[in-house]
Amino acid sequence: MTGTSASGVEEKELLDRLRRGDADAFESLVRETTPRLLAVTRRLLRSEEDAQDAVQEAFLSAFRSLERFQGDALLSTWLHRIAVNAALMRLRSRRRKPEESLEDLLPRFLEDGHHEKTPAPWRENLDVALESRELRAQIREAIDGLPDAYRNILMLRDIEELDTAEVAEILGISAGAVKTRLHRARMALRTQLDPTMRAEAS
């Protein structure tokens, strides 16, 4: 099982052992935490090689700063954040696409304030539909199709579940900018999904 079930005492013991340089403690931490961290970096990077490299970087950077870890968050939460950071560093250096505008994916309105294209309801029971691999691939593709700046915020806020302040700190932008970009990213995701999710399309 993972660290979520560890009591505060176990957590403190583990931390003490790590700080003493106990090799077994490092090994069990790495074995227990790697699957979840790898899930995070795979989601963000979409490349197995990069995802594994980012996990390795995350652990090494965590080990270097063990002394500075205050214990005000769980070790697993702290590692999660470091892994997100490591993945973002790689994304930045990769520059998948030039900075693009999101405008085409935002809803358009007429001068009287009405939608230019009348929104239509989506299918019922999308929860059942979600079990289809194909639909999930479509959603994944829609998220990946967003410009990086928006995709990353959507991933960090809605999927990695970091809060606004954490995302602002990691990306070096204001909390207001995080909120604005998140909403725009969600609106764009809605636009991307709309053709396949419409009730009349099914």
Asked if 107 and 115 touch (Cβ cutoff 8 Å), the reply is yes
| 97 contacts another protein (rule: CB under 8 A) | no
Round to whole Å and give the CA distance between 144 and 141. 5
Q: Site residues for another protein, window 107-136 (CB under 8 A)? A: 107, 109, 113-115, 118-122, 126-127, 130, 136
Q: Answer left, alpha or beta for residue 201, where phi above 0 means left and psi between -120 and 50 means alpha.
A: alpha
| 105 contacts another protein (rule: CB under 8 A) | no
Residues in the chain, overall count = 202
- Quickly list DSSP for 139-177: HHHHHHTS-HHHHHHHIIIIIS---HHHHHHHHTS-HHH
Asked if 74 and 40 touch (Cβ cutoff 8 Å), the reply is no
Tell me how far, at minimum, the Cβ of 109 lies from another protein, in Å: 4
Q: Site residues for another protein, window 7-46 (CB under 8 A)? A: 21, 23, 26-27, 30-31, 34-36, 38-39, 42-43
| 173 contacts another protein (rule: CB under 8 A) | no
CB atoms within 10 A of CB 149: 16
Q: Exactly one of 6, 106, 171, 175 binds another protein (CB under 8 A); which one? A: 106
In the complex, the residues that contact another protein under the rule CB under 8 A are 2, 21, 23, 26-27, 30-31, 34-36, 38-39, 42-43, 52, 55-56, 59-60, 63-64, 106-107, 109, 113-115, 118-122, 126-127, 130, 136, 139-140, 143, 154-155, 158-159, 179-180, 183-184, 186-187, 189-190, 193-194, 197
